[in-house]
Amino acid sequence: MITTRRRFLSITAAALAAPSAAMAAQTAHWQGRAMGAPARLAIAGLSPDAARPVFAAIEAELERLEQIFSLFRPDSSLSWLNRSGRLVAPPPELLDVLLLADRLHHASGGVFDPTVLPLLEVGTFGHARAKVFGLIGWDKVYIDPREICFAKTGMALTLNGIAQGYINDKIADLMRARGLTDVMLDIGELQGIGQCPLHRPWQARIFATDGAYEDHIVLRNRAVSTTRPFGGLRPGGGDHVVCPDGHTPFHSIVTVSAPRAAVADGLSTALSLIPREETLAVVAQFPGARIEMIR
């Protein structure tokens, strides 16, 4: 079960937009793109001038990671794997994501399955879908540090239900490595490190599918992700969620928080296709993860 594109998060981080001149003066803001979608970041306690080399490092890291995970770049590692069915000496970042995907696959009873890309590509056409069902199955993917390969010609992976969170984590790690302890990231998912200016916690607001305010979450060294499989408030909003066995989502919105954005991302994707009574057992397999909203 994977989404076709970056999800429309039904969570907004109010602290990313500095509410006062005093706060703005001590917060550096970056805006750009990641995996084809808008991205932004705020660093408390850093002037815009001091932030320039940091922002250059962010952009370089995003470029490097997209060269691994993007489905829209024909020369990315993932595109090479999908095209040839085999990738020798895969990047360690790709191995990291596939190993987490394996954990999520087993924890979710198989509904989290990156091999559903052929189903996404044929859409709802019944005859075409019947032809590609034989290409679906996580057990047909061989993963080794020396090589990743598929058991059948025509198989392909999409990592859109987990890679955005992983990229968010890598940028967060980059910030920590540079000694930046108070950062808010909106890169695929939301993640707060430390606190915002004036010693206030970073917060994310959660909205239901009808736009009604539900609650807020304090994001102190924590990430949050939302999946909306039936669409959102914006035209074309929401996620395109596909389960390997063809059944439809159980929930209209799932929000999960966790210490790592990749885990929150993967769990929010997987839980949308899991009955409510089974969700807590799945989340319990990932220390620190928590369901914030499920409808």
Closest alpha carbon to 27 in 44, 14, 13, 12 = 44
Per-residue confidence (pLDDT) for residue 246, from 0 to 100: 67
Q: Specify the residue for token string 């010609």.
A: 153
Q: CB-side exposure of 146: number of CA atoms within 13 Å? A: 0
Residues of the chain falling short of pLDDT 50: 3-15, 17-22, 232-238
SS3 of residue 16 by DSSP: helix
pTM of the shown model:
0.89
Q: Are strands 189-193 and 183-187 parallel, antiparallel or unpaired?
A: antiparallel
Sign of CA pseudo-dihedral 83, 159, 3, 73:
negative
Per-residue confidence (pLDDT) for residue 26, from 0 to 100: 79
Amino acid occupying residue 232: G
Sign of CA pseudo-dihedral 14, 19, 21, 26:
negative
Amino acid occupying residue 27: T
In the sheet that 254-258 helps form, which strands lie side by side, from edge to edge? 27-34, 37-44, 183-187, 189-193, 222-227, 254-258, 290-294
Per-residue confidence (pLDDT) for residue 122, from 0 to 100: 79
Closest alpha carbon to 16 in 5, 27, 8 = 27
* Per-residue model confidence as pLDDT tens digits over 159-202: 988 999 999 999 999 999 999 999 999 999 999 999 887 778 88
